[in-house]
């Protein structure tokens, strides 16, 4: 049986290592992410969701991407496991044109609570289909296997939760070059206004690794969630 406290220590060290990692990349950029999500509880196990997200880059001066999402998730094993499937539409700004993209996601998340701490591990398969109207993509679609570990802490009798996560992106679409080519680190605070309304404010770092001309992009994010 896994020792929960050793697992907690391992998760904390891994997240801290990811936060402190410095990537000596060719480019560095800053941006913002603004999102909203609606979650409808269908029954005790099933949820339906709708979400929208806008993203800025080029030091907060340029529209980068719009994402619209819809999906279902199913919770089981005493709420420790959650299986989810989502469909995303993405409108990407490619400087001289806008490109339509379509993304399919399947994920499985395991969550363990230890007093006020919560640890979750998410495994997600992601496939993105690119539009070929304006340009030819060498690889289309592109598939990734994403691994995310998140550690959070909820304060007693206060509607505040702090969290940190690290996520690795394993490339699967290029024969002979399937390796981790990016990782994402998030540190944030979640505030619960009431039983249905939540607000997240976070800092996010997207770091490319093991690729030509890797880039660092740092985001300030805010996301509102309404659960019904």
Considering only residues 162 and 8, tell me which one the structure prediction assigns the higher pLDDT.
162
Strands 160-171 and 98-114, bridge-based pairing? unpaired
131 phi and psi angles, rounded to 5 deg: -75, 140
* CA–CA separation, 168 and 182 (whole Å): 6
pLDDT of residue 1: 44
Q: For residues 79-91, give the mean pLDDT.
A: 97
pLDDT single digits (tens) 167-194: 999 999 998 889 999 999 999 999 999 9
Residue 32 to residues 16, 186, 187, 212, Cα–Cα distance (Å): 23, 13, 14, 25
Location of structure tokens 């990407």: 92
pLDDT of residue 199: 98
pLDDT of residue 11: 59
Q: Mean of the per-residue pLDDT values for the chain?
A: 91
pLDDT of residue 125: 98
pLDDT of residue 186: 97
pLDDT single digits (tens) 101-112: 999 999 999 999
Q: Is 25 helix (H, G, I), strand (E, B) or coil?
A: coil
CA angle 205, 20, 119 (to 5 degrees): 75
Q: How many residues does the chain have?
A: 228
pLDDT of residue 23: 46
Per DSSP, which regions of the chain are E strands? 27-41, 46-57, 62-76, 81-93, 98-114, 117-130, 142-154, 160-171, 180-192, 197-208, 215-227
Q: For residues 79-108, give the mean pLDDT.
A: 96
pTM: 0.88
pLDDT single digits (tens) 1-60: 446 556 566 556 655 655 555 445 468 999 999 999 999 999 999 999 999 999 999 999
């Amino acid at each position: 049986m896994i020792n929960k406290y050793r697992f907690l220590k391992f998760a904390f060290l891994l997240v801290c290592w990811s936060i402190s990692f410095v990537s000596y990349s060719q480019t560095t950029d800053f941006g913002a992410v603004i999102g909203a999500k609606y979650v409808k509880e269908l029954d005790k196990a099933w949820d339906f969701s709708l979400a929208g997200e806008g993203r800025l880059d080029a030091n907060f001066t340029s529209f980068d991407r719009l994402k619209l999402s819809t999906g279902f998730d199913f919770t089981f094993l005493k709420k420790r496991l959650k299986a989810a499937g989502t469909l995303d539409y993405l409108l990407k700004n490619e400087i001289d044109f806008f490109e339509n993209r379509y993304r399919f996601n399947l994920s499985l998340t395991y969550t363990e609570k230890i007093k006020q701490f919560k640890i979750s591990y998410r495994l997600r398969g992601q496939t993105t289909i690119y539009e070929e109207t304006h340009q030819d993509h060498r690889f289309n679609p592109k598939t990734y296997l994403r691994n995310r570990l998140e550690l959070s802490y909820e304060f007693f009798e206060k509607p505040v939760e702090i969290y940190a996560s690290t996520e690795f992106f394993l490339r699967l679409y290029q024969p002979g070059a399937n390796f981790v080519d990016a990782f994402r680190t998030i540190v944030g605070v979640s505030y619960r206004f009431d039983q249905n309304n939540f607000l997240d404010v976070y800092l996010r770092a997207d770091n490319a690794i093991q690729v030509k001309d890797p880039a660092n992009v740092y985001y300030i994010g805010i996301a509102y969630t309404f659960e019904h």
